[in-house]
Amino acid sequence: MGRLRKACGVAWVALCIPLLPYTVYFYELTAWKLFGEEFYRARYGPSREPVIEIFGGKAFIRFSDVQARLSDMDEAARRGDIVRRNWLGPAMLASDVFVDGVFALGLDYSNHTSFRPWMDSTLWGVHKKWSRAGVEEAAEKFISGKKHLSLPKDFKEFGVQIIATNWLGLRVPEEFDAAEFTGFFQDFRLQLGMAPEWMFQIPGMAYLSGWIQDRNAKYVKAISDALARHHPHTPPEHIMRFSANALDAMATAGGLSIGEIGARVVAALWDKIGDLGAEDFRLNSTNVDNVILETIRLFPAVTNIAYERLRPFVNSDGTVASDVLGREILAIGPILHDPELWGLDAMEFRLRGQSAYEAERGFLAFGGHGNRSCPGADLALETLRALFLALEKRSWKVKGTGNVSFWGYGTFPFTIELQ
Ligand code: HEM
């Protein structure tokens, strides 16, 4: 048994070695923090070169350059390979509906402009499909039954559950089991999405990718059944496509980010970093947003946005701003830490006041204000706010002694005990 386990361990490590460059490139938690930011500072210091070469692409590291590109994601820009490929293959979802698998994040410009309005109209504004009261009630219920929370895992489960129930109207757990979803599927889908194409020729890997595809289809079907109930006049092929987009929001975007940011807030509170260490600091409904936004700024969930530029970038006045073609990276992480934007205490946790995050720079953590910015930002803030206010009603502590260890922009997994 011991030998078998050892052999499995060796096989797993061997399998991971070729994956390493991809993991380093895409693991948002650490890539910029461990390599990008230090590299940039050491090499360019205060000279603020507009573009640096890193991770096999040209990275824009000045706020104005990033801002211009974020607000103008047009047909000249195609999403990075991995984002486009994270679907793991085409799927026949119903006898007459074939989803080629390119979900929300990877949609090309023309498809994106037709599907994005659905996400916007259902996630925020007057027609949004979720309510503050619904999210608060779910958070109270989730926290009240718990004696332990494993983070970020349990917050990921909660984030996915909120998206499924409060946004998409899925019945839980009959139609959708958030624990099962975050158990294996979510991680596998993300990790395997990073694998190069040749890896799927290996028999075990081919089986795994088939398994993910089957699950993709199963979840898209469950979501589309729920959406068909709530949007009876929308054509089925649109419902299927919306569902595929919504699955992306659960499996990657919000499904991962809510859990990760939630864990970082808890870690920052426990470690009493920066202003959270003040003797009179107590988390309450007045400062909770500020704590969340400063955590997202200092420990962002998405630290770079990668895509491929097919034609030169053109300024709003029609002049060609740059003739850089090929892979471009918008260096969100370093900009959220840039002293020119945030002051000399940019690397400190400061309660900067709500207005600091109201300007566009403050929304960089949610992808800025462009047509690719996060449509779930309001729901994410509401979910995190409700979670922490419910948690503050209980007494809690981090299991073990000492602080939570941060690693790159994120933390190592940890457990909290609730009284
Ligand atoms: C703390 C939580 C969250 C953070 C920090 C976050 C951050 C971001 C960022 C930076 C982007 C742009 C990424 C890119 O262009 O590559 C993005 C896109 C996106 N987010 Fe979020 N997000 C969060 C929560 C959510 C939630 C709760 C949902 C859904 C309910 C969601 C759905 C999406 C979708 C669908 C996109 C793709 C939008 C598009 O390409 O048009 N996110 N998010």
Quick one: pLDDT at residue 284? Answer: 96
Quick one: pLDDT at residue 8? Answer: 63
Return the structure tokens found at 286: 């007045």
- Return the CATH number at 314: 1.10.630.10
Assigned domain for 403 exists? yes
238 membership: H or E segment, kind and range: helix 236-248
**Which atom from ligand 1 is nearest to the alpha carbon of 292?**
1
What's the CA-to-centroid distance between 372 and ligand 1, angstroms? 8
Assigned domain for 15 exists? no
* 379 φ/ψ sector (left φ>0, alpha ψ -120 to 50, else beta): alpha
Q: What is the pLDDT along the chain (419 residues), one digit of tens a residue?
A: 567 766 666 666 666 555 544 444 444 445 566 666 666 666 555 556 667 777 677 888 888 888 888 888 888 888 876 666 666 666 666 677 677 666 777 788 888 888 889 899 999 888 889 999 999 999 999 999 899 999 999 999 999 999 999 999 999 999 999 999 999 888 888 877 777 777 888 888 888 888 888 888 899 889 999 999 998 898 888 888 888 889 989 998 899 999 999 999 999 999 999 999 999 999 999 999 999 999 999 999 888 888 888 888 888 777 887 777 888 888 888 889 888 889 889 999 999 988 888 877 777 888 888 888 899 999 999 999 999 999 999 999 999 988 998 877 888 899 999 98
Q: In this structure, which residue's CA is closest to atom 20 in ligand 1?
A: 374
Assigned domain for 3 exists? no
Domain with 106 in it: 22-418
Q: Which residues contact 128 (CB under 8 A, 6 or more apart)?
A: 121, 122, 378
Q: In this structure, which residue's CA is closest to atom 21 in ligand 1?
A: 374
Assigned domain for 153 exists? yes
What's the CA-to-centroid distance between 104 and ligand 1, angstroms? 10
Q: Which residues contact 336 (CB under 8 A, 6 or more apart)?
A: 297, 298, 300, 342, 364, 365
320 membership: H or E segment, kind and range: strand 320-322
Assigned domain for 16 exists? no
Assigned domain for 4 exists? no
Inter-residue contact 202 to 186 (CB < 8 Å)? no
**Which atom from ligand 1 is nearest to the alpha carbon of 245?**
35
Assigned domain for 12 exists? no
The verdict on pTM exceeding 0.75 is yes
**Which atom from ligand 1 is nearest to the alpha carbon of 332?**
10
- Size (the chain), residues: 419
What's the CA-to-centroid distance between 122 and ligand 1, angstroms? 14
What's the CA-to-centroid distance between 101 and ligand 1, angstroms? 18
- β-strand pairing of 57-60 with 326-330: parallel
Q: In this structure, which residue's CA is closest to atom 22 in ligand 1?
A: 254
**Which atom from ligand 1 is nearest to the alpha carbon of 371?**
41
Instruction: Show the ligand 1 pocket: residues with CB < 6 angstroms.
Output: 104-105, 116, 119, 123, 163, 167, 249, 253-254, 257-258, 261, 296, 301-302, 305, 365-367, 372, 374-376, 379-380
How many structural domains are present in the chain?
1
Assigned domain for 11 exists? no
**Which atom from ligand 1 is nearest to the alpha carbon of 367?**
10
Quick one: pLDDT at residue 326? Answer: 84
Q: How far apart are CA 278 and CA 351, in angstroms?
A: 11
What's the CA-to-centroid distance between 25 and ligand 1, angstroms? 19
Q: In this structure, which residue's CA is closest to atom 19 in ligand 1?
A: 374
- β-strand pairing of 305-309 with 326-330: antiparallel
